[in-house]
Chain A
Amino acid sequence: MARAVLLFRLIVRPMLRDRARAALTLAAVALGVAVIVAVDLAGEASMGSFRSSLESLQGSASYEITQVGGIAEAVYGDLVRLEEPLAFSPRIEGFALLPGAGEEVALFGVDLIGDPTLREMGGPPRRGASELLDAPSVWVTASLGISPGGALPVVAGDRRMDLEVQGIIEPSGGRAGRFLLVDIALAQRLLARTGRLDRIYVHAPPGDGRDWSARLASVLPPAATILPAGTRTEDNRRMLRAFRWNLRMMSYTTILVGAFLIYNTIAAYVVRRRQQIGIVRAVGASRAMVRAAFLIEGAVFGAVGAVAGLVLGRVLAVGAVTAVGGTVSSLYVSSTPGEIALGPGTVATGVLTGIGMSLLSAWWPAREAAGVAPTEAMARARLDYRVRAASRRSAVAGLALVVLAVGCCLVPPVDRIPVGGYLAPVLLAAACAAVSPRLSAAALGVAGRLLAPPLGIVASIAARGLAASLGRTSVIVTAMAVATGLVVSMGVTVGSFRETVDDWLRSRLQADFYVSPIGEGGRGAGSTMAEEVAARLAAAPGVKDVGRFRTYPVRYGDTPATLGLADVALYERYSGIEFLEGPAPAEIWRELEAGASVIASELFSYRHDVHAGDTVRLALGAGIVELGVAGVFYDYSGERDLLIGDRAALLVHLPDPRLSSAGVYLAPGADFEESHAALARAASGRGVEVTPTRTLREQAIRIFDRTFAITYALEAIAMFVAILGMAEALLNLVFDRRRELALLRMHGASTGQVRRLVLVQAGLLGLMASLMGLGLGAASSQVLLRVIHKQSFGWSLPLHWPWEFLAAALGAIVVASVAAGLYPARIGARLAPAAVLRAE
Chain B
Amino acid sequence: MPRWRWRWRWRRGRPARPPGARTGSASAPAPAGRGPRPAAKARRPPPGGASPRLALAFAAAAAGWICVLAAALGPPLEAGAAGREAGAGQVVPGYAFEFPRDHFAHPSFDSEWWYYTGNLSTAAGRHFGFELTFFRRARAIDAPEPSAWDLDQVWLAHFTITDTLEERFVVDERVNRSGPGLAGADAGKRRIWNGNWSIEWRPGAEGRAGGEGRPIQMLTAITPDAALRLTLKPRKPVVVHGRDGVSRKVAGDPRAVSHYFSFTRLEAAGTIAVAGEELAVSGLAWMDHEFFSDYPMKDKVGWDWMSIQLEDGADLMLFGLRDAAGRHGPDTTGTLVDADGRARPVGWGGAVLRPGRRWRSEATGAEYPVAWRVMVPAFDLRLDVRPRIDGQEVFAEGGLLPPYWEGAILVSGERRGRRVAGVGYLEMTGYAERLDIGGIETGGRDPP
Contact = CB atoms under 8 A, between A and B. Distances in A.
Given A114-B177, A134-B141, A128 B6 contact: no
B33 A128 contact: yes
Contacts of B74: 128, 130-131, 134
Interface in B156-178: 174-177
B84 to A, nearest CB: 16
A119 B398 contact: yes
A164 B10 CA distance: 12
Contacts of B149: 111, 183-185, 188
B8 A206 contact: no
Interface string B190-201: 000101101000
A80 B15 contact: no
Contacts of A189: 145, 147
A169 B11 CA distance: 11
Contacts of B193: 81
Contact of B32 (A82, A118, A128, A205): A128
A344 interface: no
Contact of A122 (B5, B32, B34, B400): B5
B411 interface: no
B33 A127 contact: yes
Interface in B1-60: 1-11, 13, 15-18, 21, 31-35
A435 to B, nearest CB: 51
A123 interface: yes
B196 A127 contact: no
A81 B181 contact: yes
B180 interface: yes
B150 interface: yes
A118 B180 CA distance: 19
A78 B9 contact: no
A836 interface: no
B429 interface: no
A288 interface: no
A202 to B, nearest CB: 12
A55 interface: yes
Contact of B10 (A59, A82, A124): A124
Interface stretch (A69-77, A771-779, A814-822): A69-77
Contacts of A346: none
A674 B34 CA distance: 57
Contacts of A78: 181
Contacts of A74: 180-181
Nearest to A194: B147
B379 to A, nearest CB: 41
A206 B223 CA distance: 12
A73 to B, nearest CB: 4
Nearest to B19: A135
A322 interface: no
Contact of B7 (A73, A76, A81, A122): A122
A56 B4 contact: yes
Given A82-B196, A85-B223, A135 B6 contact: no
Contacts of A60: 1, 3
Nearest to A166: B11
A171 B147 contact: no
Contact of A114 (B9, B141, B179): B179
B182 interface: yes
Contact of B145 (A77, A128, A148, A194): A194
B3 A134 contact: no
Given A77-B182, A80-B196, A134 B7 contact: no
Given A76-B180, A188-B149, A122 B8 contact: yes
Contacts of A52: 4
B227 interface: yes
B7 A84 contact: no
A80 B5 CA distance: 24
B289 interface: no
Interface residues of A, number: 65
Contacts of B195: 80-81, 114
Nearest to A205: B224
Nearest to A85: B224
A265 B110 CA distance: 86
Given A84-B196, A171-B5, A113 B175 contact: yes
A839 B198 CA distance: 101
Interface in B173-227: 174-177, 179-183, 193, 195-196, 198, 220, 222-225, 227
A145 interface: no
Interface string A478-503: 00000000000000000000000000
B10 A125 contact: yes
Given A85-B227, A121-B3, A167 B8 contact: yes
A121 B5 contact: yes
A285 B80 CA distance: 103
Contacts of B224: 85, 87, 205-206, 208
B7 A169 contact: yes
A135 B15 contact: yes
Nearest to B402: A127
B15 A128 contact: yes
A388 interface: no
B400 A126 contact: yes
Contact of A167 (B1, B3, B10, B176): B10
Residue among B18, B74, B139, B150 with the most chain A CB within 10 A?
Answer: B74
A601 B400 CA distance: 53
Given A83-B196, A131-B17, A195 B148 contact: yes
B83 interface: no
A167 B18 contact: no
A80 B227 CA distance: 15
A171 B145 CA distance: 33
Given A113-B154, A148-B9, A167-B8, A76 B3 contact: no
Given A130-B74, A172-B5, A77 B31 contact: no
Contacts of A76: 179-182
B71 interface: yes
A77 B175 contact: no
A55 B399 CA distance: 24
A76 B74 CA distance: 25
Contacts of B253: none
A182 B21 CA distance: 20
Nearest to B71: A127
A439 interface: no
Interface string B116-158: 0000000000000000000000010111010111110010000
Nearest to A188: B147
B7 A172 contact: yes
Interface in A139-193: 139, 148-149, 164-173, 183-185, 188-189
A137 B73 CA distance: 16
A133 interface: yes
6 contacts: A73-B179, A80-B195, A81-B195, A125-B34, A135-B15, A169-B8
Interface of B: 1-11, 13, 15-18, 21, 31-35, 71-75, 139, 141-143, 145, 147-151, 154, 174-177, 179-183, 193, 195-196, 198, 220, 222-225, 227, 398-400
Given A55-B1, A130-B177, A208-B224, 6 more contacts: A52-B4, A81-B181, A85-B223, A130-B73, A166-B10, A172-B5
